Structure 1
Amino acid sequence: MYDRKTWIILALCGALIALNIHYSAKNRQDQQAKELATPEAVTANTLPATAGNPSSALTVETSPPPTSEELVVLENDKVAFQLSNIGGGIKFAELKDQKNVGETSQVQINRHGSGPIAGLVGPGEILDNTSYSYVAKDSVEGESAVYITKLSTGIIVRKTFTLEKSDIPGKEYFLRLELVLENSIQSNFDISQYDLFLGSAAPLYQKERPTHTGIFWYENGEMHFNAATKFKGNMISSEKSIITSASDEVIGFAGVTDQFFTTVIRPEKAERTRVWGKPDLVTLNDGASALNAVRGGISLPSVSLEPGRRLTLNYSIFTGPKANTMLRKLDNTGEMGEGWGDVMQYGFFSPVSRLLNSILNFLHTGLSHLSTHESWGLSIICLTLIVRICIWPLHAKSTRSMKRMSKLQPIMAKLKEKYADDPNKLNTEMMGLYRKYGINPLGGCLPMFIQIPIFFGFFRMLDYAVELRDQPFLWVDDLSQPDTFAHILGIPINVLPIVMAITSALQMAMMPKTGDKMQQRIMMFMPLMFFFFCYNYASALALYWTTQNIFSIGQTWFMNKIPEPELVERKGVAKKSWVQRMAEKQAEMQKIKNAGGNMRDVTPEATKKKRPPRTGG
């Protein structure tokens, strides 16, 4: 039997042991939280996901993160990045030198986003708007911001956003993201269950075409773009709720875009990840109809994170204008990887658009010293004149060919009357007539064929020329928008397209009359077609087309002052051309067919006279 003293001593020893165990565990937890909150410790302890020696259970800061939204601003001369603790990402990026159409407010990238850029997205593409703690002691005021939290899955997340410090083109629009993940549970965790949110892209103004807005990704050297309209489906396909990339492809970067601005998230190293996009609807103004928008995400790499292990991932986040010159320079530096220039989405005529944009910016650099107010409009006019001067020789040759063609009209009228019932023979004779006088029937169309890639290249270039936003010229307030002068019965009166249509009609009236009446009517209809095409488009395109028309009128007037070309027969053209021989052969086959003959027997051997069989003697 133990006496009372013995029991008291045993009880005190037990209490001391219990207290020691309790405070030792608490000290270990506090020390581990401190190590996780220190950037140097995270970097030093970054290990491959397959490494062993798991550490003990981890915890984050003892005080719970705030539930109300708190913003931290990282800014430079061009962008103010508004970071939110809800979701731990970029709530929006405000561009200081870009205003909304017809407003005084600044453009805010991701202003319609359902969550912050670089926020985490869980399974089912559902945003995880967990509240993060802002680590003030680790953040560098005005240059970086650090957020940390523990997700419901048990994964500890630390995000460090830092303003870009390297001297790269467009560095003001970049943020560096260091993403640290630590597994605090007792089993492996596949981090590819989470995605980084790309944000949301929506039209900037009510009349913007929905094809401008979309999601894209750069995969194995090729850009993939899906407009917001692709989610609607069509006559042969059903509506899509999601668009995804192939899961086994290497993705260089991904982003969402509107007409002039884009968000891009680029991993430090291209990985086999998945990109997804979903449709959204946004309303820009009260009472206005809803517009198509898109949101998306890029998954984290497929890595199985062992218990107690940490993994560091680095990303570059771009939120800024789609400026061709800047993006091409990023490609040339190589520091930020390749594919930046393809963000412009110029399409099939991309080489033409890139060249024209480079020349336009070069001209603006010089002209801005003469006039800051009219410089961009003058640059478009000068670029148009340069293009027209370069194709002057082709246009002059085309005009002479058309004049010679017009002199053949009386002869061709007689041929049409003579061979009215034999179109194949008529075609053969007309070919012989062209060859006899050395006329190329397509000569008058050559400049038009040359202008097709130039026109569409100009069209695409001006379509995405963020340089023209909010730039005035004469009565035009914004070269990227229609030059609406007034409204009559709710109909906008746009001056430049009207001037363009008038000058186009004058140009057509001065051209030599060739072809039949139907062809001439089609040519006269073209000014009306271009009028409707350009009426509600950017005034920069109407300015280009009007300048071209005025130049062509002057060029045609000058060509009319040159002596008329003579219609002279060419010497040494007795031998029929290959086209003529083929046309005659076709006519001969048609005659045999009309006479009830067998087309299979119409061969050079079959048309020869057969020899009678030889007999003896």
Structure 2
Amino acid sequence: MDNQRNLIIAVVLSAILLFGFDFVMRTYYPEPEEAPANMASREDAPVARVDGEITPDAPVVRDLDTELATTGRVAIDAPEIAGSINPVGARVDDITLKTHRQTVEEDSGPIRLFAPGGTDIQQFAQFGWVGEGVTVPDAQTPWQVVEGGELTQETPVTLAWDNGQGQEFRLTFRVDEHYMFDVTQSVANTGDGSIALRPYAFVSRTSANASPSTFTVHSGPIAEGNGSVNFDWDYEDVAEEGPVNLSGSTQWLGFTDIYWMSALVADDASAAEGTFRSTGADTFRADLIYDAVTVPAGETVSRTTRLFAGAKESAVLDQYEDQGVERFGLAIDWGWFRFIAWPMWQVLIFLFGLVGNFGVAIICLTLIIRLLLFPIAQKQFHSMAQMRAVQPKMKALQERYKDDKQQLQQEMAKLYKEEKVNPLAGCLPIFVQIPIFFALYKVLLLAIEMRHEPFFGWLRDLSAPDPATILNLFGLLPFDPPGFLAIGVLAVLLGFTMWLQFKLNPAAMDPMQQQIFMLMPWILMFVMAPFAAGLLLYWISNNILTLAQQWYLYSRNPELKAQMAKEREAKEREHERKKAEEG
């Protein structure tokens, strides 16, 4: 009866874990919903205020194709990005990434990062000034192209606007070989007296198409200032708490997804204030506002702000950091174990360049990690063998001092000292491995280089879940099973290899533990099924290498293997005896 009760408890707990995990993931970390085509967004137009605050206009609804078809747009054609600048408001509001596709299909088209304000996927950048007693350009200002015709890596473009009061405003755009714009804001004062202005720049975007922010990956506002990178705020926090004024000077700020980011980088020569704010209808702003500058009569004052709009490729971010953008590489949220994750990532990229297949690179990295941890595993195995050897003496002490717990503890400590056994030695190696495996999990989760990378056969994208699931007959039926029911080939292999591990390990002393251990591999099969194929490939490879390691260590310690087999037989006989008595 006890065994039946324990089995029922184990099944119930397993069901709670399985369904509870899916419920928590769907409730607190939902997949991003498809943005409705008629979603209203705010068109953000600045007004002149001495304090630099920028207020929005009323909501509008716009069609993407119609907006991009407007005449007079300044084309952008750089090595890795394409798009255009809208001369009305001088907005950078049309950017696609040439080297990243929407889906794994070759004809799926490039990733669209920026889109005009008022569209359902709006994201754009605007540069301007605020001031008092002087007319400044706003979102409706028609700028004129005065230098250049197409913005390329070799040819900058300059837009100009004259306010008719003795001030000419200019914006000069440059773009590099990757994802960085340099935007120089100039004011030439030909009037009679001095004027005071505050240059600003902002990025506006909708959160409707943002990647979900989870406890492992941040999505939303991001900023660098005062020597650290701030991941503290998400879209909901900003919407609920109002404008978020960042303390101290801000070096750069913007919005990040798992793979993409838009960020403004402040001029090195001046301090800037950073602010995040909600502008309604699921739209948000990252504002970078400089200190006020005085422009004397007959002089010109300039300020240069950089705009990053692209993919979070580790090598590219590090390159910009080397160019002076402080801590830009930390825009990838490596987490607490960055000191492990970053070197691990470098090794993975090196292996990928060596073997030419990201899946093979993951397997090679797993092998390297297992080899590095082999001395720890060997020590753990040796500790287990020692504990097995003193097991009969431990049982004798437990029987002798079963009514005197204090004396039992003293005798056990004496036994450990005499036999030179450390009962914690088998546990400590596990704690050493935890940060290593979590760091690798983060690496595979964040690496854009793994996006759309194939392994072989049906695995065409290691950053996506296994598409060949049992319920759709391994891809033959045209539908995707929901959530944890999408059990694919990799998930089955994961469960099977973990089950083999438990079978090879020493049998648990408690029948309840044995039943849980036998169920756990199949529970994890369901839990891990929705995760990226690359993560499952790593775990399967690790399980297989662990099995090989256990087989090798057992072959080096035949007496332990024989002892374990003897104990397992004794447990089975005891189980059969109790079963017969209950019957």
Larger radius of gyration between Structure 1 and Structure 2: 1
- Which residues in structure 2 correspond to 1:188-337 (within 5 Å)? 190-192=196-198, 195-200=200-205, 202=207, 211-228=217-234, 231=237, 239-246=240-247, 249-269=248-268, 271-279=270-278, 294-306=284-296, 309-331=299-321, 334-337=322-325
Root mean square deviation of aligned Cα? 3.5
Instruction: Tell me the residue number matched to 1:481.
Output: 464
Q: Secondary structure at the match of 1:316?
A: strand
Instruction: Tell me the residue number matched to 1:88.
Output: 90
Say whether 1:149 aligns with 2:131: no
**How many angstroms apart in 2 are the aligned matches of 1:421 and 1:190?**
87
TM-score by length of 1: 0.68
C-alpha offsets along residues 53-96 of structure 1, whole Å, 9 cap, x if unaligned? Answer: xxxxxxxxxxxxxx966422221232114211132131132111
Instruction: Tell me the residue number matched to 1:285.
Output: none
- Which residues in structure 2 correspond to 1:27-106 (within 5 Å)? 70-101=72-103, 104-106=108-110
Q: Secondary structure at the match of 2:369?
A: helix
**How many angstroms apart in 1 are the aligned matches of 2:269 and 2:395?**
68
- Which residues in structure 2 correspond to 1:558-597 (within 5 Å)? 558-564=552-558
| Cα distance change, pair 501–230 in 1 and its aligned pair in 2 (3 A) | farther
- Which residues in structure 2 correspond to 1:401-480 (within 5 Å)? 401-474=383-456, 475-480=458-463
Which of 137, 143, 146 is the matching residue for 1:133?
143
Q: Name the amino acid aligned to 1:135.
A: V
Check whether the contact 1:122–1:128 (CA below 8 A) recurs between aligned residues: no
Q: Name the amino acid aligned to 1:144.
A: P
Deviates more, 1:322-331 or 1:255-264: 322-331
Instruction: Tell me the residue number matched to 1:608.
Output: none
- Which residues in structure 2 correspond to 1:507-522 (within 5 Å)? 507-513=501-507
Which of 106, 111, 119 is the matching residue for 1:107?
111
Which of 529, 532, 541 is the matching residue for 1:535?
529
Check whether the contact 1:118–1:196 (CA below 8 A) recurs between aligned residues: yes
Q: Name the amino acid aligned to 2:172.
A: T
**How many angstroms apart in 2 are the aligned matches of 1:483 and 1:498?**
11
- Which residues in structure 2 correspond to 1:591-610 (within 5 Å)? none
| Cα distance change, pair 83–391 in 1 and its aligned pair in 2 (3 A) | same
C-alpha offsets along residues 496-544 of structure 1, whole Å, 9 cap, x if unaligned? Answer: 2332122122112212346766766776666466545533222111111
Instruction: Tell me the residue number matched to 2:186.
Output: 180
| Cα distance change, pair 162–430 in 1 and its aligned pair in 2 (3 A) | same
| Cα distance change, pair 499–115 in 1 and its aligned pair in 2 (3 A) | closer
Check whether the contact 2:259–2:311 (CA below 8 A) recurs between aligned residues: yes
Instruction: Tell me the residue number matched to 1:354.
Output: 342
| Cα distance change, pair 337–212 in 1 and its aligned pair in 2 (3 A) | closer
Identity of aligned residues (%): 25
Instruction: Tell me the residue number matched to 2:8.
Output: none
* 1:546 CA drift (Å): 0.8
Q: Name the amino acid aligned to 2:160.
A: I
Q: Name the amino acid aligned to 1:224.
A: N
Q: Secondary structure at the match of 1:442?
A: coil
Q: Name the amino acid aligned to 2:490.
A: L
Gaps of 5+ in 1: 1-66, 165-170, 234-238, 283-291, 369-374, 567-617
| Cα distance change, pair 293–527 in 1 and its aligned pair in 2 (3 A) | farther
Check whether the contact 1:402–1:514 (CA below 8 A) recurs between aligned residues: no
Instruction: Tell me the residue number matched to 2:577.
Output: none
C-alpha offsets along residues 543-582 of structure 1, whole Å, 9 cap, x if unaligned? Answer: 111100000011111111113468xxxxxxxxxxxxxxxx
**How many angstroms apart in 2 are the aligned matches of 1:128 and 1:425?**
83
Say whether 1:118 aligns with 2:96: no
Q: Name the amino acid aligned to 2:359.
A: G
Say whether 1:500 aligns with 2:494: yes
Check whether the contact 2:266–2:272 (CA below 8 A) recurs between aligned residues: no
| Cα distance change, pair 399–281 in 1 and its aligned pair in 2 (3 A) | farther
Deviates more, 1:306-315 or 1:171-180: 306-315
Q: Secondary structure at the match of 1:483?
A: coil
**How many angstroms apart in 1 are the aligned matches of 2:129 and 2:524?**
46
**How many angstroms apart in 2 are the aligned matches of 1:447 and 1:153?**
74
**How many angstroms apart in 1 are the aligned matches of 2:418 and 2:509?**
18
| Cα distance change, pair 312–205 in 1 and its aligned pair in 2 (3 A) | closer
Say whether 1:389 aligns with 2:371: yes
| Cα distance change, pair 425–185 in 1 and its aligned pair in 2 (3 A) | farther
Check whether the contact 2:266–2:288 (CA below 8 A) recurs between aligned residues: no
**How many angstroms apart in 1 are the aligned matches of 2:428 and 2:172?**
59
Check whether the contact 1:82–1:93 (CA below 8 A) recurs between aligned residues: yes
* 1:109 CA drift (Å): 1.5
Q: Name the amino acid aligned to 1:226.
A: D
* 1:495 CA drift (Å): 2.8
| Cα distance change, pair 115–303 in 1 and its aligned pair in 2 (3 A) | farther
Check whether the contact 2:380–2:427 (CA below 8 A) recurs between aligned residues: yes
C-alpha offsets along residues 128-186 of structure 1, whole Å, 9 cap, x if unaligned? Answer: 4223323144556642222223579997531111122xxxxxx3222221111346888
Instruction: Tell me the residue number matched to 1:614.
Output: none
Number of aligned residue pairs: give it.
467
**How many angstroms apart in 2 are the aligned matches of 1:547 and 1:121?**
56
Check whether the contact 1:213–1:227 (CA below 8 A) recurs between aligned residues: no
Instruction: Tell me the residue number matched to 2:41.
Output: none
* 1:429 CA drift (Å): 2.4
Check whether the contact 2:223–2:230 (CA below 8 A) recurs between aligned residues: yes
* 1:252 CA drift (Å): 1.9
Q: Name the amino acid aligned to 1:75.
A: D
**How many angstroms apart in 1 are the aligned matches of 2:81 and 2:373?**
42
* 1:338 CA drift (Å): 2.9
| Cα distance change, pair 325–102 in 1 and its aligned pair in 2 (3 A) | closer
Which of 533, 536, 541 is the matching residue for 1:547?
541
**How many angstroms apart in 1 are the aligned matches of 2:130 and 2:402?**
75
Check whether the contact 2:238–2:277 (CA below 8 A) recurs between aligned residues: no
| Cα distance change, pair 221–520 in 1 and its aligned pair in 2 (3 A) | farther
* 1:451 CA drift (Å): 1.6
Instruction: Tell me the residue number matched to 1:168.
Output: none
Q: Secondary structure at the match of 1:116?
A: strand
Check whether the contact 2:169–2:185 (CA below 8 A) recurs between aligned residues: yes
Q: Name the amino acid aligned to 2:111.
A: V
**How many angstroms apart in 2 are the aligned matches of 1:548 and 1:300?**
52
| Cα distance change, pair 460–153 in 1 and its aligned pair in 2 (3 A) | farther
Instruction: Tell me the residue number matched to 1:167.
Output: none
TM-score by length of 2: 0.71
